[in-house]
Chains A and B, each alone.
Chain A
């Protein structure tokens, strides 16, 4: 079983829709949870991070962590075509080492 599971998609939604991206994990010791956005042939860009359980909001983006279920989510409101990218969840294994999900390819259609 992989430490982090993420549906690779692809996911295609119309512009303006609310997008929900999710990851599950198996290691209950994970404390830091990150979401990265990666455009084709580029390095990942940090979108949001959350420490332990709870919600965090930044503009159109909301990150949720439910440690009891080992489940994290990223919501994108009022999605834009420029949001089209691959979204990766990541968790810290310890010593700042990150474990990534497979990534979900998201396309926002105008």
Chain B
């Protein structure tokens, strides 16, 4: 099956610094990638949709200047949390879409961000 990786798997940073999270599709080309965040014991909330070579589209309430998304190639999307604050601490998960069918969306293992 299709594999999506994320790096790092966990990161701790100080308040005010920026953190970059990578999402890679390892054995397929992803036309679209999605970024979610998940708080403890809560559901996944879609943050943004990332298409290769174009600007990401953000969901309502998500600050695009705080969560910078770059989709540089068909196998790599990055999420940068800028000027991180403790309330940004969360589990960030990416997913990648293959042939365009909804069910062919594969999720990465997630990145746990803790901001101190």
Contact = CB atoms under 8 A, between A and B. Distances in A.
A102 interface: yes
Contacts of B107: 36, 43-45
Given A49-B102, A100-B43, A100-B44, A43 B112 contact: no
B108 A43 contact: yes
B51 to A, nearest CB: 10
Given A95-B49, A97-B34, A46 B44 contact: no
A45 B112 CA distance: 18
A46 B49 contact: no
B32 A96 contact: yes
Interface string B35-73: 000000111111001000000000000000000000000
Contact of A88 (B44, B45, B103): B44
Interface of B: 4, 6, 32, 34, 41-46, 49, 91, 93, 95, 97, 100, 102-103, 105-110, 112
Of all A-B residue pairs in the complex, the 8 with the closest CB atoms, nearest first, are A43-B107, A49-B103, A100-B43, A32-B102, A100-B44, A102-B43, A92-B102, A43-B109
